[in-house]
Amino acid sequence: MKTLKSIDYKILAALMRNSKISDRQLAKEIGVSQPTVTRRRARLEREALDGYTAVPKWAKLGYEILAITFVKTNQSLGLKGHFEAAHRKGIAWVMKHPNVLMTGGSRGMNMNGFMISVHKSYSDFDKFMSEHKRELGDMFTDIQTAIVNLGGSEILKPLHLKYLADDE
């Protein structure tokens, strides 16, 4: 994709605040014509957007826990041929778990991978982590998890992209 223009950032910010906004409303909000918004939005959808999704109130859907898990991979995975097989195995495992929201490489805290997942209960989380260790445990030398209570009063700012829209 070519470099984004100022209007593209305005459109993206408006969509992060409210992805249901019509092209006509969006054009009025940012001060351009509706055909311009329609054309730019279509281009952004092809080249810069990964899709539209609702941001749920997790507790209302029955999710009580958000888990942030950090892993340190086994050094032997760096040996030729081992990494590719382990990588495929790890991808297959996380892809079969729809409660895994994001995963990938990371840096810091002497860890090199992370996973963010949601769970309906502590029992659900415990079962998930037991399966993770049973099926992928040989790939890691350390696993550390922080648990967030999604239904508690300690959530000061809920997970939502609308906040990023104000970082223009």
This prediction has a pTM of 0.82
- Rounded to 10 deg, the angle between the 82-95 and 122-136 helix axes is 160
Q: What's the pLDDT tens digit per position in 37-63? A: 999 999 999 999 988 888 888 888 999
Q: What is the C-alpha to C-alpha distance for residues 93 and 98, in angstroms, rounded to an integer? A: 10
pLDDT at position 79: 59
Is the pLDDT at 68 greater than 90? The verdict is yes
Q: Is pLDDT of 1 > 90? A: no
Q: Dihedral angle at the C-alpha atoms of 164, 165, 166, 168, nearest 10 degrees? A: 100
One fold for 6-53 and 58-149 = no
List pLDDT tens digits, range 94-149: 999 999 999 999 999 999 999 999 999 999 999 999 999 999 988 889 999 999 99
CATH topology of domain 58-149: Alpha-Beta Plaits (3.30.70)
Query: Considering only CA atoms, which of 88, 120, 91, 111 is closest in space to residue 103?
Result: 91
Give Cα 168 distance to the centre of its chain.
21
pLDDT of residue 10: 93
- Which of the four CATH numbers 3.30.70.270, 1.10.10.10, 3.30.9.10, 3.40.350.10 does domain 6-53 have? 1.10.10.10
**Alpha helices (runs of H) in 31-114, residue ranges in sequence order:** 34-47, 82-95
Q: Output 25 or 165, whichever has higher pLDDT.
A: 25
Band of residue 7 on the pLDDT scale cut at 50, 70, 90: very high
Helix axes 34-47, 23-30, angle to 10 degrees: 110
Two structure tokens written together for 106 = 């990371």
Do residues 38 and 23 make contact, with C-beta atoms less than 8 angstroms apart?
A: yes
What is the residue extent of each domain of the chain?
6-53, 58-149
